[in-house]
Structure 1
């Protein structure tokens, strides 16, 4: 199964991936990260699922004064994250098995969540909920319809999958999040489909 080789693929090509990101002149993620930051306190404690080497997401968020806990299945990526951001926390962990026994002001799964197969994506929502407090912002990228797609990275197949929009909305609502913004194939962000949600605040009566 191609999805089972994602970790090995990023481990094998970690340095190449990071250098490619560093060479990019554009930063299309910025506007969405700013929207995400508008929903969290300042400073915030943010969980970055699939943090990679911390570039550009964690680097940008720490520059805004936030604290990051990065988790990634690739040991090489985590090692580079620690080298780049020595004052932040990075853990070699599979997000599908994450159980940190703590909650965060914000949770990200940017360009990582969509590498999981359909069932693993569904199983992530209880994990998001377990690491959220009241008002936690959650942002992730997905596809725009129920499908699987195979890209190419360094000449090797790269697996992606997505549920449909209605199922994502239902999963978010069922696990205590309401959607604040959702854009399909955002042309201003590299064609990504982006979900920004927030855990329900308690009723004030």
Structure 2
């Protein structure tokens, strides 16, 4: 499983377009995107970590008047994002080392953060903190319990990992976020485990 974690970036660089074509455009995440949006100011800035081709998630926010900055490590997927929404910003970067020296009203890491090793996930909470404006919304997906799992993308092993719920709560609290909502394996969201939090104002 450790070897699979080492090649996750290369897999999406090689097979990003195949993943994109199989993703579909049905917005099964909408109930959670609506909850996230409700915490944002009108026209606010959203940071999408692991933005892929920017459709349908980034599109959801762009069509509602938000300013999106997307980050991804797959050049083919970033190319699609730039073609679709050239007026927004699409950056080639590994989220683990991200430092943009600016803060956002919303930070989204949907089906991306869970590709990181557990130790990298722990370190990501400082990245979240550094990029969160006071009161910012943070939403990410995880696994339902601590552990690692291997999926498949175009015949190659696709790494996933998760901490347990208590550790996520502790990390959020330690980095200045309050949990707003959390559902494990949400049946209304294709079984995704979702965390929605908000940065404290003080």
Same fold, TM-score > 0.5, yes or no: yes
Matched, 1:29 2:29: yes
How many Å separate the matches in 1 of 2:75 and 2:191? 29
Structure 2: tracts of 5 or more residues without a match: none
1:148-167 matches, cutoff 5 A: 148-167=148-167
| Correspondence list, 1:2-21, <5 A | 2-21=4-23
Alpha-carbon contact 1:178-1:198 (below 8 Å) kept: yes
Across the two proteins, how many residue pairs are aligned to each other?
200
Runs of at least 4 residues off by over 4 Å: none
Structure-2 separation of matches of 1:18 and 1:154: 12
Residue ranges of structure 1 left out of the alignment (5+ in a row): none
Task: Tell me, in whole angstroms, the C-alpha distance in 2 between the residues paired with 1:85 and 1:163.
Answer: 34
Deviation at 1:21, TM superposition (A): 2.1
Q: What is the TM-score when the length of structure 1 is the normalising length?
A: 0.96
Q: Secondary structure at the match of 2:86?
A: coil
Q: Distance in 2 between matches of 1:5 and 1:199?
A: 32
Give the corresponding residue for 2:144: 144
Question: What CA distance in whole angstroms lies between the structure 1 residues aligned with 2:147 and 2:184?
Answer: 14
Matches of 2:139 and 2:54, distance apart in 1: 16
User: Cα RMSD between the aligned structures?
Assistant: 0.8
1:23-68: CA deviation from partner (whole Å, max 9, x where unpaired) = x5x3211111010000010111000000011011001110111010
